[in-house]
């Protein structure tokens, strides 16, 4: 996760951050393939989203999987609309291109 993506995660409201960290633990112990809807959803191409819900609303973390089951978070944001805004997808795609590989 790049520095900007990490800062976005830690800027989440406390309850959503707790859920993000709990999902991270679940992914580390069981693998990303064990996560299913409604917690994760395919967006486009290699992009998927981790769906977070809390008292303050909903948030999304857009991620990709790298070699093996490694998850790389590209973008995290508090969602205000029904659909994921195209600018969020474009930002995630730009960050994905920066991944060494």
Q: Please state, in angstroms and rounded to a whole number, the distance separating the CA atoms of residues 1 and 75.
A: 9
Domains of the chain: 3-97 (3.30.2310.20)
pLDDT of residue 2: 82
Query: How confident is the model over 2-51, as pLDDT tens digits?
Result: 889 999 999 999 999 999 999 989 888 888 888 888 899 999 899 999 99
**What CA–CA distance (Å, rounded) separates 38 from 1?**
23
Q: What is the pLDDT of residues 60-90, one digit of tens each?
A: 999 998 876 688 999 999 988 888 889 999 9
The pLDDT of residue 79 is 86
pTM above 0.85, yes or no: yes
Q: What is the pLDDT of residue 101?
A: 64
pLDDT of residue 81: 81
72: closest CA among 24, 19, 35, 17?
24
């Amino acid at each position: 996760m790049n520095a900007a993506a990490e800062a976005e995660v830690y800027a989440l409201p406390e309850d959503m951050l707790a859920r993000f960290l709990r999902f991270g633990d679940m992914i580390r112990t069981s693998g990303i393939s064990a996560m299913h809807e409604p917690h994760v959803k395919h967006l486009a191409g290699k992009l998927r989203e981790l769906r977070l819900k809390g008292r303050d609303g909903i948030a999304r973390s857009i991620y990709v999987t790298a070699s093996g089951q490694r998850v790389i978070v590209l973008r995290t944001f508090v969602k205000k609309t029904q659909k994921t805004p195209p600018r969020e997808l474009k930002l995630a795609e730009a960050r994905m291109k920066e991944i060494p590989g």
